[in-house]
Amino acid sequence: MLLCPLDYRYGRDEMKSVFSEETKLKTQLLVEAALARAQASVGNISKKDAAAIASKADLNHVRLERVKEIEKKTKHDVMAVVRALSEQCGTAGKYVHLGATSNDIIDTATAIQMSIAFDIIEDDILKLMETFAKMAKKHRKTIMVGRTHGQFAVPTTFGFKIAGYLTEMMRYLERLGEARKRVCVGKMSGAVGTSAAFGVNALGIQEAVMMELGLGVEKAATQIVCRDRYAEIVSILAQLCTSCERYATEVRNLQRSEVQEVSESFDYKNQVGSSTMAQKKNPIASENVCGLARIVRAFVAPSMENMVLWHERDLTNSSAERFILPHVFALSDDILAKTDEIFSHLVIRPERMRENMEESQGMIMAESVMIALVEKGMGRQEAHELIRGFSLKSETEARPLFDLLASSKQIKAVMSKAELIRAMDPRSYVGMAPRIVDEVVADAMKLIEARS
């Protein structure tokens, strides 16, 4: 019986496999093998025994079914792995897990899993960056209404909007790069982190294990790797998913029937929008992104609470983390992939953007006219009050702002009709938007090419 939607509805196979039972066992065996080799390197056990342990530390010899069978009796997951491996190693089995505590294995294995997951998330971000870069470049001069408070503001370009998303993704790539060195760390320091059971060569053993596995070292551990590290990555991924929710929310708003400036792609032959309203074409992928992002954010609180454990550790974090890390990484990967799919096939309607702009009766250009009046010598406050009055009149009388301004003696006194026409042309009032798009896209492509 399947219970979790990750098992049958959400998430992609590559990321889910990273946190599967098989991969968890596989990585724990990698850690046990690295520990045996490190013990041999300092003379604590023979190289022959280390080689014997390492040769059996894989899923071909240590079966998941056997581990589960032992755990039913021992009621201890790591001890089940230790016994399953030991029984495969002959006389060398007596050296399996020597000096280690459970979380030396669990946390170090988890760091390996997270390192793989980091790679997948970073690849997702790069793919989404490339999609945004292409879209921003193509629509660098596609004029549309800029909105604040849900109201018409001043003109912008669709490419400039997307360039903002692109810069945000570049920051996440930077954040993940910085966080990786703090998050992907392991420990091999025993029961309360003092390394007493490893003897005089303890620090060398720990260093050798982490070097072999490509991980950083928790230098002053308790019995576990400190959970501020886990809280950091969960928080970053929650923030990342919230940014994707922001982009998806914009798609949903721009797809509203009265706006219709963009819309998700729709399979006209097969796709059904509603079980009853046959005309519907709903932004379901964007809504899915928004809903899943809320679930990811919900894992931030328990990841913070897991930082607060009794003394050198207790077990309250363990059960929570079995949910938190697989779900956060799997859903983050899913959200990024869906966001890329949405924008890769987004239907963009420049003609509808122009129509919406025209519906403002020219009032979207009020600021532009005000600035033009100031350039002609009128005081800024005087110009603002003058245009405010005409804008209110334009709205109440349903008359184009241009007609009111063109017939105004105050406007005529300082501005020609040609100058007024120019001041009310949206194409002349997008500022540095196209240039900024070009610069952002260039920066992004450098990052993408460097990672390819």
Please report which confidence band the pLDDT of residue 275 belongs to, taking 50, 70 and 90 as the band edges: confident
Please report which confidence band the pLDDT of residue 137 belongs to, taking 50, 70 and 90 as the band edges: very high
Using DSSP, state whether 101 is helix, strand or coil.
Answer: coil
Please report which confidence band the pLDDT of residue 269 belongs to, taking 50, 70 and 90 as the band edges: confident
Residue 31 counted as domain residue: yes
Of 15-19, 105-109, 111-115, 264-268, minimum mean pLDDT range: 264-268
pLDDT of residue 259: 96
Residue 3 counted as domain residue: no
- Specify the number of domains making up the chain: 3
Asked if the model's pLDDT at residue 268 lies above 80, the reply is no
Helix pair angle (64-74, 21-41), 10° resolution:
80
Residues 372-392 pLDDT 10s: 999 999 999 999 999 999 999
Residue 444 counted as domain residue: no
What's the mean pLDDT in 10-24?
97
What's the mean pLDDT in 407-425?
94
Question: Could you tell me the residue range of the domain that residue 302 belongs to?
Answer: 102-130+158-269+279-355
- Asked whether residue 61 falls in the same domain as residue 123, the answer is no
Residues 319-328 pLDDT 10s: 999 999 999 9
Residue 396 counted as domain residue: yes
What's the mean pLDDT in 158-178?
98
- Asked whether residue 290 falls in the same domain as residue 350, the answer is yes
Of 70, 74, 40, nearest to 55 by C-alpha is 40
Please report which confidence band the pLDDT of residue 231 belongs to, taking 50, 70 and 90 as the band edges: very high
Rounded Cα distance, 137 and 143, in Å: 13
Of 327, 355, 383, which residue is a domain's last?
Answer: 355
What is the domain-level CATH number for residue 35?
1.10.275.10
Q: What number of other Cβ atoms are within 10 A of residue 338's Cβ? A: 19
- Asked whether residue 122 falls in the same domain as residue 216, the answer is yes
Of 325, 355, 385, which residue is a domain's last?
Answer: 355
- Asked whether residue 419 falls in the same domain as residue 305, the answer is no
- Asked whether residue 317 falls in the same domain as residue 228, the answer is yes
- Asked whether residue 301 falls in the same domain as residue 403, the answer is no
Report CA-CA distances (Å) from 81 to 31, 36, 278, 318. 11, 15, 56, 17
Rounded Cα distance, 223 and 191, in Å: 5
Q: Any idea which residues carry the catalytic annotation?
A: 149, 274
Asked if the model's pLDDT at residue 452 lies above 90, the reply is no
**What residue spans of 350-432 are helical by DSSP H?**
350-358, 366-375, 380-397, 401-406, 409-412, 417-423
- Asked whether residue 337 falls in the same domain as residue 403, the answer is no
- Asked whether residue 306 falls in the same domain as residue 340, the answer is yes
What are residue 65's phi and psi, to 5 degrees?
A: -60, -40
Instruction: Report the predicted TM-score, pTM, of the whole model to 2 decimal places.
Output: 0.95
Of 305, 331, 355, which residue is a domain's last?
Answer: 355
Residue 321 counted as domain residue: yes
Residue 388 counted as domain residue: yes
What's the mean pLDDT in 288-303?
98
391 DSSP 8-state letter: H
